[in-house]
Amino acid sequence: MRAARSIALATLLVALPALAPAQPRPVTVDDVLGLKAVGAAIVSPDGTQVLYTVRQWEPESERERDRMAARTRIWRVPAAGGPGRQITYGERGDSQPQWSPDGRFISFVSARGAASGGEEARAQIYLMRADGGEAFVLTAAKEGVSGYAWAPDSSRIAYLTTDPLSVEADAARKKRDDARIVEADFRHQHLWTIDVATKTATQLTEGTAFTVMGAPTWAPDGTRLAFAARPTPMLRDYRADVYIAEVSSKTVEKITSNPDSDASPAWSPDGRTIAFLSEVRTPARPSGQVRRGQEPQDGTPPSFVGHARLMLYDVATRQLSDASRADFDIDPGAPRWLPDSSRILFTAGRRAYTEAFVYDVAAKRYTQLTTGRTVQIGSISRDGRTVALIADSPTDPAEVHVTDPTFATLRRLTTTNPQAADFALGETEIVTWKSTDGWPVEGILLKPVGYEAGKRYPLLVVAHGGPAGAYTNGYRVGGLEGGQYLAGQGWAVFYPNPRGSTNYGEKFLQANLNDWGGGDYRDIMSGIDHLVARGIADPDKLAHIGWSYGGYMTAWVITQTTRFKAAMVGAGLTNMWSMYGTNDIPNVLVSYFGGYPDKETMRLYLDRSAMTHVDRVTTPTLILHGANDERVPLGQAQELFRGLKDRGKATELVVYPREGHGISEYYHLKDRLTRIRDWITRYTLGEAAGKTSQR
């Protein structure tokens, strides 16, 4: 009887038509927002497990289903392969996962519950047993914890917290008697240690001589900590030095004296060396043509425009050595020692990728380990055999991978976004061209879904921020414009890396000093000409957008040419003179414009401002800006809007409440994606192609 049923079932299955695989479909706005972000891959000391974070949008609460919040949670996956498992469930999210060096505990930072007085809880360090169990809180820092590091013997944790207000100042704040003196009354961040067993916390550094920046690094014997600190908490204060603190005596010694920035210290496993990154100006390596007397007179330097150097500090002799090489024209990332202390791993941008590199200390040699990859190193196992990292590609979103220290083969462990397999994606291509003055330039072209050679397409140009930034050839579902979202609607999307971008050498990085809107503008326009000449871009259907410096470039472009049918200026700099006096990092403009504005430099500040040339604009321009933006204040958007509106130009200004320089709220992100698409479609392709987003 059982056999008969089996035969009948088999016959039925054969008779049923085979289910066809799902057909790829274009990416939607909901797909962009639904993509989960994977980060922070941390391998266990024994190399068998990897912690990682997953960030996603979810309802604020059961009662507020329509209000969306971005929450980060911690997951765990076997390094040998297998399903990942979520291990934290904090109501506001959890981040910064680490393993204790002995592998017994998992730690993370989370803000849970409610603080006294009805205020929101501050982020604290939580621990849970690695073999399972509930998480419990370790610290009770009044102002919360911003970063931390385990002691090598797993008995203590060093952490950072900001000095709390005095009782009197806190009482005044609560009753809103809180007048604030600008660039004064600083609250510094300092180092503490806490005993894991007793929860006894001890302040290690104090005072107003410096504020600690970034998590510290322990000496292997657990007696000292190295850390970076700067004189003030101001964002525009780029000075920083490396210090060593003796834990038992609380004595602190400064080991560097660079007038610029020394940061990201990492103590070698053998205890002999501290590696760190240093920004060094020399007569042969000027970083900004600032004349004497035109730099800020409060001691803060102009921002550094150049490559950092890998430096090595010999702990025994207190001698510094410079590991930079003339033939290694790359800006290294944070150093990570391999367990034998002979080599240092790091990632760095190289052209259109973020590659892995290693520095051999004895041989003084740099070696590139990956080619054509975009990777982020997380951590290294105790025996050095396993490296955990995050990697993405043009066809796959970021996921957790593991490899050996040679990076010979990357093995993927997670599939956090299985729905991505259903997306119809446009092909990416790295394109190179010569600018009008002969400069070699590179960018990334995202072709429309279903691209046909010989057919011209509407082209959207997306200028990057910075200007010291660069586009890499990674997964393009997301970002300012959605990338593949627009490719699915028939757009070609162009991501140029003009002069002033990183990843192409220090000369290229510094090539737009005193020349914003000059060579960088010509590089972008010649890149468009290149795509037109190849028969890809329709010269009559061009649009241009950008955010921050990309917003500056968009505002500048529309004053220099009438080729674009539509533009979006996002958080853009439009008047460099007023921008200097109102933003939170004016030292950046000091570097790029030859000094602060005065009778000598004012000509450049004014000449390279879009507002000076606003009479020339004919392009319909959408302007988007965060209401609380301090990096590029809202006034920059208002100036451009008023200049265009009073001249009868097609324009619209949209302000996002509560947002700073970036857009972070769910419905604001959705609005931005939709609004950009509707605006460029309406004015580039015509009314029939899409509706506007008038609200």
- Each residue's pLDDT tens digit, 76-95: 999 999 999 999 999 899 99
pLDDT of residue 61: 78
pLDDT of residue 180: 87
Mean pLDDT of 513-523: 97
Q: Per-residue pLDDT for 335 more than 90?
A: yes
Token pair of 689 as six digits: 């192609």
pLDDT of residue 254: 97
Q: Per-residue pLDDT for 35 more than 60?
A: yes
CA–CA dist 583, 574 (Å, integer) = 13
Token pair of 318 as six digits: 């207190």
**pLDDT > 70: what percent of the chain?**
94
Q: Would you call 7 helix, strand, or coil by DSSP? A: helix
What is the pairing mode between strands 457-463 and 537-547?
parallel
Q: Per-residue pLDDT for 677 more than 70?
A: yes
The larger pLDDT score, comparing residue 695 to residue 568, is at 568
For the four alpha carbons of 369, 372, 377 and 380, in that order, the dihedral sign comes to negative
pLDDT of residue 10: 39
pLDDT digits (tens, 9 = 90+) for 155-175: 999 999 999 988 888 888 889
What is the pairing mode between strands 25-26 and 482-483?
unpaired
pLDDT of residue 190: 98
pLDDT digits (tens, 9 = 90+) for 281-310: 876 555 556 766 777 888 898 999 999 999
Q: Would you call 519 helix, strand, or coil by DSSP? A: helix
CA–CA dist 194, 644 (Å, integer) = 58
Closest listed residue to residue 458, CA positions, set 565, 559, 597, 533 = 565
Cα-Cα-Cα-Cα torsion 611, 615, 616, 621, nearest 10 degrees, comes to 70
When pLDDT is cut at 50, 70 and 90, the band that residue 12 belongs to is very low
pLDDT of residue 7: 37
pLDDT of residue 20: 55
pLDDT of residue 46: 97
Mean pLDDT of 179-189: 91
pLDDT of residue 288: 59
When pLDDT is cut at 50, 70 and 90, the band that residue 693 belongs to is very low
pLDDT of residue 285: 54
Q: Which residues of 211-240 are buried (b: 16+ CB within 10 A; e: fewer)?
A: bbbbbbbbbeebebbbbbbbbbebebbbbb
Q: Give the angle 48-52-56 at the CA atoms, nearest 5°.
A: 150
The larger pLDDT score, comparing residue 442 to residue 259, is at 442
pTM given for the model: 0.93
CA–CA dist 579, 586 (Å, integer) = 8
Give the least confident one: 5-14, 180-189, 640-649: 5-14
Contacts of 669 (CB under 8 A, 6+ apart): 33, 663
pLDDT of residue 495: 98
Burial class (CB in 10 A: 0-12, 13-18, 19+), 4: exposed
pLDDT of residue 116: 62
Q: Per-residue pLDDT for 691 more than 70?
A: no
What is the pairing mode between strands 343-350 and 336-337?
antiparallel
Q: Would you call 391 helix, strand, or coil by DSSP? A: strand
Mean pLDDT of 578-588: 96
